[in-house]
Structure 1
Amino acid sequence: MPSMQRRRVLQAVAAGAASLSLPSFAQAWPARPIKLVVPFPPGSSPDIIGRLVAEPLAAALGQPVVVDNRPGAGGNLGTGVVAKAEPDGYTFLFTIQGPLVTAPMLSKNLSYDPAKDLAPVSLVATSPNVLVVDPKLGAATLADFVRIAKQKKGELNYGSVGNGSASHLAMESFKSRAGIDLVHVPYQGFPQVVNAILAGQVQAGFMVPGIAMGQVKAGKLNALGVTTLGRASSLPEMATLAEQGYPGFEAVSWQAVLAPAKTPRPIIERVSRELVRIIKSDEVRSKVLGQYFSAAGTAPEALATLMKAEREKWGQVIKAAGVQPE
């Protein structure tokens, strides 16, 4: 056999063997638009960050990536939709940690098990939480807030984005540390929490700075501190709660992409690689920082490890604070 012909035959055989290593379905993927479910309303922090990565991900995959907002039950509703979706590579989830970490401990009738029904793809971004209060409360500092809360024991409300969310557990943890009593009022998303504070329905809340800082700069909210152990790179001028008398206090929010369990591994790895490249690009990193988040970008295994560690940490907080399932 002539060497040229032999080379072509060997190349064809090699190509055939490579194609056999992947499911035929994965070879043809993606052949139609992909749905990115965000279980929070438009304008919420995960919606904003999700849309930042959806467009470049669509360009990388050669198919539209359509953001589908499915708010409700602190993110559990939309998360359940993805958990039950066909694992065909055409439905992904973009969410915060609450539905993934604490929902199984705090939701009596959860329709999914995040450890079994969802496959980690990539950690996208992390952010400190900011403690904000209604200026009419008269609390200019964290010490002021604690003093007023003790004077008005059980009379003040705080808002969160749902039972078991980072904003909920951060305040429950702080309540325990500070010895104060506040009433929890859950909302669908941070914009609703902000509106509730502005309307005087609640007086405080932990929230991501991307939502809060515009109102803080406008003088409509007072920011009392951030929940990172050290100064946050996005808000270096703002003191931490740890340095204001609560050493070791930390409550970081994060956002991630997951897929239905049993989604073909080659598809998960492809999306993870594309997301890491996108998230670490200068353009997206800058946009994410503009929302007061730090770009992450990890392999699926790293996200799985984070989820496990967070479940252990916040499980202890839930038990210590006596937070009850709903």
Structure 2
Amino acid sequence: MIQHDFSPKADGLTRRHLLTAIGALCVAGPAVAQDWPLGRVITWVVPYPPGGSTDVLGRNIAQRLGASLGTTVIVDNKPGATGTIGASFVAKAAPNGYTLLGTSIGPQAIAPHLMGKLPYDPIAGFEPVITIGTIPHILVVGASQPFKTVAELIDAGKAQTGKLAFASGGNGTILQMQGELLQQQTGARFIHVPYKGDTPALQDTLAGQVQFMFAPAAAALPHVLSGRLRAIAVTSAHRLKALPTVPTLSETGLKDFVVEQWQAVFAPAKTPAAVVQRLNAEIARVLKDPAVVALADKLGITLVGGTPQQLADLQKADSAKWAKVIKDGNIKAE
């Protein structure tokens, strides 16, 4: 009769060896992640057309990120549906660190509350990587408009209900949401006029076709300094260095009216933590590059960085904020 020895020391395999083998299996996943990216190409998806600030800054960062990782990072523009087409593509990609989303507040915190059921969950469908930066906005009116202060604009909006208009770069954009928030906080009523992009919206504000808009600082500033636009407030927490005499909206009496558009990087959900941390560290290093800082300044973007958790907290807070604005205003995607 053949006897089998199942004791811990059978065939020279000690209990200590068994534990070592089990431990090796447990750390195999992270060990592989530490070898990433192994020279493979990484795709950085921008959910907007080429030429915008998200695209321009994203390409600059992607090029330097590739050099830092010893690989190639290509930028793939997948525009459409307020940025949700590109976001959906990344959410469905393999969670291996080779597909990233370089996006903004719209697809991740606003559009999901406007567009009904989306093919991705803006929070559960991604791993936050890093906040690239924030963009303050300026509440501007055309030089021909009579409004010199926020109070004057609000009073007119109450006295002339539904007669004054504000422009935005399109339905579901952060520019529209700020106009909606202004109405909800003050009781004034304005007409929303959406355009196909910030530039035509700004052009009609300059021409007096609409009374006001919330414009990205970099786009509005040259016109403010030339006198073609009048800045009556800024949406940032603090006054802008370029406009030291223009108050924040909070200073005008609108409490908690701090709105900054953000750009950030996300990876598909379940991307290994080691990969996320490596990406965070490498992109944070790129954000300190003098050339990147100079480009961000030109685009009107304040570089941020920070941890994945800080981005997660920012996204959740803004998602809740704009969900309430959209619900209270009964705002629908058009």
TM class by shorter chain equals 0.7 to 0.9
2:234 corresponding residue in structure 1:
226
| Aligned CA distance change for structure 1 residues 188 and 178 (closer, same or farther; 3 Å) | same
Shift of 1:18: 11
Shift of 1:304: 1.0
| Aligned CA distance change for structure 1 residues 225 and 298 (closer, same or farther; 3 Å) | same
Shift of 1:130: 1.1
Which SS does the other structure have where 1:263 is aligned? coil
The farther-off stretch of 193-202 and 113-122 is 193-202
Q: Deviations over 1:2-53 (max 9, x none)?
A: xxxxxxxxxxxxxx99994536476251534322222223332322332342
1:242 aligned to 250, 268, 284, which one?
250
1:278 aligned to 269, 286, 298, which one?
286
RMSD value over aligned CA atoms?
2.9
In structure 2, C-alpha distance between the alignment counterparts of 1:221 and 1:196, rounded to whole Å: 11
1:178 corresponding residue in structure 2:
186
1:110 corresponding residue in structure 2:
118
In structure 2, C-alpha distance between the alignment counterparts of 1:192 and 1:274, rounded to whole Å: 37
The count of corresponding residues between Structure 1 and Structure 2 is 312
In structure 2, C-alpha distance between the alignment counterparts of 1:80 and 1:187, rounded to whole Å: 24
2:267 corresponding residue in structure 1:
259
Query: Which consecutive residues of structure 2, in runs of 5 or more, have no partner in the other structure?
Result: 1-23
In structure 2, C-alpha distance between the alignment counterparts of 1:191 and 1:20, rounded to whole Å: 51
User: TM-score normalized by structure 2?
Assistant: 0.81
2:101 aligned to 93, 105, 108, which one?
93
The farther-off stretch of 47-56 and 187-196 is 187-196
Shift of 1:82: 1.8
1:12 corresponding residue in structure 2:
none
Once the two structures are superposed, the pairs formed by residues 34-53 of structure 1 within 5 Å of their partners are: 34-53=42-61
Tell me if the contact between 1:30 and 1:61 (Cα under 8 Å) persists in the aligned partners.
no
Shift of 1:86: 3.0
In structure 2, C-alpha distance between the alignment counterparts of 1:192 and 1:79, rounded to whole Å: 25
1:13 corresponding residue in structure 2:
none
In structure 2, C-alpha distance between the alignment counterparts of 1:89 and 1:323, rounded to whole Å: 36
2:307 aligned to 295, 299, 305, which one?
299
Q: Deviations over 1:278-299 (max 9, x none)?
A: 2234443343233332211012
| Aligned CA distance change for structure 1 residues 191 and 260 (closer, same or farther; 3 Å) | farther
| Aligned CA distance change for structure 1 residues 63 and 200 (closer, same or farther; 3 Å) | farther
In structure 1, C-alpha distance between the alignment counterparts of 2:184 and 2:292, rounded to whole Å: 38
Tell me if the contact between 1:44 and 1:190 (Cα under 8 Å) persists in the aligned partners.
no
| Aligned CA distance change for structure 1 residues 18 and 212 (closer, same or farther; 3 Å) | farther
